[in-house]
Amino acid sequence: MSLAEHITASLQLPTTVVNMYLEDLTDAEILVRPFESMNHIAWQLGHLIQSEHFHVTQVAPDAMPALPEGFQERHTKETAASDEPDDFLTKAEYVQLMHAQREASLKLLATLSDEQLSQPAPEKVNYLGSTVGCIFAGEATHWMMHAGQWAVIRRKLGKPPLF
């Protein structure tokens, strides 16, 4: 199995978990906080989407679809405190953007050889790991870390555990 195939397989679980956690939530429910000072799902989705976009564009600047105008500004540390629905997108919009970014990440990943994936990570994103492959693999960890917080929100909302 190539490095790209292995990383692609590692990205399948977080994609499945995120889709399942979001499936039965409403636009209002993605604005529920697990605890007063913690971020709601809407903000976290924006953060994750723009993070994946940023990380992958550091590897290949033209590989990712553009995010909507103002998207980054809507998902800053400062906007995390907002509970106003108009400050965020709908669940459907986040899901569409999430899948578009992931599809582009996987498309690029499929073109990279083991040698390319073993090259040093771009300096701006080497906090995810030392190689280009680590940048892609880091997305799995990042998405799962946030999705773990969503399990708490789901229980708070009276939703059944899924896993």
What is the full DSSP assignment across the chain?
--HHHHHHHHHHHHHHHHHHHHHT--TTGGG--SSTTSPPHHHHHHHHHHHHHHHHHHH-TTSSPPPPTTHHHHTSTTGGG---GGGS--HHHHHHHHHHHHHHHHHHHHH--HHHHTSBPPGGGGGG-SBHHHHHHHHHHHHHHHHHHHHHHHHHTTPPP--
Instruction: Tell me the whole-structure pTM to 2 decimals.
Output: 0.96
Q: 83-120, pLDDT tens digit by residue?
A: 999 999 999 999 999 999 999 999 999 999 999 999 99
CATH number for the domain harbouring residue 59: 1.20.120.450
Q: 10-37, pLDDT tens digit by residue?
A: 999 999 999 999 999 999 999 999 998 8
Domain-embedded: residue 37: yes
Domain-embedded: residue 14: yes
User: How many structural domains are present in the chain?
Assistant: 1
Contacting residues for 113 by C-beta, under 8 A, at least 6 apart: 2, 4
Q: What percentage of the chain carries pLDDT values higher than 90?
A: 98
CA angle (147, 52, 99) in 5-degree steps:
70
pLDDT band with cut points at 50, 70 and 90 for residue 6: very high
Domain-embedded: residue 21: yes
Q: What is the pLDDT of residue 89?
A: 98
Q: 47-84, pLDDT tens digit by residue?
A: 999 999 999 999 999 999 999 999 999 999 999 999 99
Domain-embedded: residue 109: yes
pLDDT of 163 > 90? The answer is no
Domain-embedded: residue 162: no
Range(s) of the domain holding residue 123: 3-156
Domain-embedded: residue 96: yes
Domain-embedded: residue 117: yes
Q: 127-141, pLDDT tens digit by residue?
A: 999 999 999 999 999
pLDDT of 148 > 90? The answer is yes
25 vs 39: CA distance, rounded Å: 16
Domain-embedded: residue 110: yes
